[in-house]
Structure formats: C-alpha cells, structure tokens
Structure 1
Amino acid sequence: MLKIVPDPPPSNPSPHHLEDTLIQATEYVRCALIVAHQSVLASHPHSLGATLALTAVHEMETVRALLDSALTQVQVPVQVQTHH
C-alpha cells in the first residue's frame, strides 16, 4: 500500500542535513536565476515582462546571498574552548 502522506521531517535536523538542504536550495535559486536572465534577454528591454523578470532576478540574488550566508554559518567549525 502506498503512503499518501509523507513522514514529517525530523524535529531536530543535524547540522549536516541542514547544510545539504541549504546547498540544494542554493542550486535551485541558481537555476531560477539563469531562467530569469534568459527571460530578460528574450523579451523587449522595456516591456513589463522584462521588468518583472529583472525584479525576480533581484529578489533571487538576495535569497542566494542569504543562503550563502547561512551556509557559511553552518560550515564554520566549532571552536574548541581552552581552559587556562
């Protein structure tokens, strides 16, 4: 019998799982940016479609920067505290 409802994600994901998710999200945003850039190139420069695509590019670039920042934070190794 097939499950109709998938299992929920783990309540406390490991840092490596979070890192994988951030990497995957970054790749999706990168692909969406490529499509949006191509959409702008294929349309008239001052058309409403080009303006909307450029707006989407700007938003996706912001999301990509946030994902890169989050990925950097996840990848920072935990510093060992030294006791004096």
Structure 2
Amino acid sequence: MLKIVPDPPHSPHSLEDTILQATEYALCAQTVAHQAIMLQPRSPVSVLMMAVTHELETLRMLLESALIQVQVPAAPRPVH
C-alpha cells in the first residue's frame, strides 16, 4: 500500500548539534563581514557591514544562550 503523505525527513542531528552548527555559520559570516570592512573602511557600504557585524554578534549571543538552555538538564519535577 502506498502512503499518500510521505514521512518527514529524518534528521540525524540533535537540536544541540543544529545550534552549534548555526553558531559556527554565524561566526564565519561575522568574520567575512569584518574582513570586508577592513578591506574597504571608507566605503559607503562599510556602515552597512558594521550593522551586519553587530546583528551577527547578537545572533551568536542568542544561539549561545539557546545552547546553554539545551545543555542544562530539566529540573526534576516534584513527586506527589
């Protein structure tokens, strides 16, 4: 018998792995933006690149916070 709706793709990565990978991509993007600013510091685009760098730093902090939340074990629930 054929399924009408296929199963969702199985992800071999855990949420923690996904957050770590996203953090690494954000760091790489931030490094590229910083390098672009260093190459053309007087360019009109450098102001936008500084804004991108700031936003990527904020994204990295949020991802690191999410990673900490994932790594902290859930508080044990009281047994009644």
Query: TM class by shorter-chain length?
Result: 0.7 to 0.9
Q: Aligned partner of 1:68: which letter?
A: E
Aligned to 1:32: 29
Q: Aligned partner of 1:65: which letter?
A: M
Can you list the C-alpha shifts for 1:18-76, whole angstroms capped at 9, x where unaligned? Answer: 11110000000000011011000000x34211111101001101111110111110000
Aligned to 2:49: 53
Task: Give the TM-score normalised by structure 2.
Answer: 0.76
Aligned to 1:64: 60
Aligned residues: 73
C-alpha distance in 1, partners of 2:50/2:69?
29
C-alpha distance in 2, partners of 1:8/1:69?
28
Structure 2 residue runs without a partner (length 5+): 1-6
CA-based RMSD of the aligned residues comes to 2.2
| Change in 2 beyond 3 A, CA 1:70/1:9 | farther
Structure 1 residue runs without a partner (length 5+): 1-6
Aligned to 1:22: 19
C-alpha distance in 1, partners of 2:34/2:8?
35
